[in-house]
Structures are given as C-alpha cells and as structure tokens.
Amino acid sequence: MPVHEIRHPLIRHKLGIMRRADLSTKSFRELAQEVGALLTYEASKDLPLEPCTVQGWCGPIEVEKIAGKKITVVPILRAGIGMLDGVLSLIPGAKVSVVGIARNEETLQAHTYLERLVGELDQRTALIIDPMLATGGSMAATIDLLKQAGCRDIRALVLVAAPVGIAHIEKLHPDVRIYTAAIDERLNEDGYIIPGLGDAGDRIFGTK
Ligand code: URA
C-alpha cells in the first residue's frame, strides 16, 4: 500500500509552524490536534457508506451513513494522545483502543505494557495515531496487536515519517496505509527524525 504524504496547504503551513523550536507547548499541542484532524479527513475518504432513511422536515429522506461497526482510534502512548482530540473532532463516535509500547533498552525490542482494545475489531477500521514514525518499531508492534485481534483495515496517521520507518512498515505490513503530513530526510544516531519536530511527546506534554 502506498504511503500518502498529504501536501495540503493547510497541513504544510501548520507543520511549518510546528517545526519552530521556540513554539509554545500550547501552540504545538493545538497544531498537533489540528493536523491530526486534517489527516483524518484524508484517511477517511474511502470509508464505505450505506443508505438509510431519516425523518426529514417534509417526510422520509434517503441519506447515507458510514457502514459497519465504524472506527476505532488507536493512540500509541504517550505521544499519540496528542492527536486524539483532533481525530475525535471529526469522528466523535469513534471507540478508542489504547496501546502502550516501550522499547526494552537491552534487547532494543518493542514490548507492550498496555493494551486496551475495543471489541469487534474484525468489523472495524483502525486509525493508529502517533506523531512520529521513526524506526517504525512501535507502529509495527501495534499493527501486530490489531491484526492478532482480527482487525483487517488498518491505517496509520503520523505527523512526520522517516523513510526507514515507512520502509519497515511497508515490508512487514504492506496492506497498511500510512498517512503523513511530511516525509523527512532521515534518522539521526539517537533515533530522532531530521529535521523532524524533536521529541513530540515532550513538546505535547511540556515535559522538557
Ligand atoms: N520520537 C519523537 O518524538 N521524535 C522523533 O524524532 C523520533 C521519535
């Protein structure tokens, strides 16, 4: 599945502001939600619709609604929380499945310390949210969890992606679509995306 770099002017503009090192926590946080919402708009473009009838002011009207069990949003802790309200602003009825993944510093393997998935995942579209797709380790582990739980329609929404992270997901999970506001140059030796945004979790939570 191809990666979708969404080059919409609003996204380019907002992401450009987020790259400023002197941006306040408040502004960074607001923009992460706004770009999250804009990515959601793109990632939901092909959701299937089904007809239904509502009682309108002049009688019954045929309208459309999103078909099936609908959507679960899957924030990867902790930074993914920084995009959650943005996604929910467009899909307020979505169920939220929370995943906590940490890297074991000895084995360098991603391990899951929290998994609260909603039910009936085989009938849902999952929108995984995490601001930074760096090595792709946490994203791949989250996709594994969702697939083990039966989910078949998985989309990843990230603010910035590194080519190596995209390649990792494309190799392990070629069926998963990635929606990103930007594909940046590379990872540095500490695993940060260059030019990137710095530590997105710290910038969203104001911890540095
Ligand atoms: N996580 C971040 O918060 N920033 C990066 O650049 C890479 C991973």
User: How sure is the predictor about 127, in pLDDT bands with cuts at 50, 70 and 90?
Assistant: very high
Query: Over pLDDT 90: what percentage of the chain?
Result: 92
Pocket of ligand 1 (CB under 6 A): 79, 132, 134, 191-193, 196, 199-201
Quick: pLDDT tens for 62-85.
999 999 778 999 999 999 999 999
Please determine, looking at this structure, whether the domain spanning 3-205 carries the CATH number 3.40.50.2020: yes
Q: How far, in Å, is the centroid of ligand 1 from the Cα of 174?
A: 23
Asked if residue 102 has pLDDT above 70, the reply is yes
Distance CA 6, CA 14 (A): 12
Model ipTM value: 0.96
The mean pLDDT of 189-207, rounded to a whole number, is 96
Is 131 annotated as ligand-binding? yes
The whole-model pTM stands at 0.95
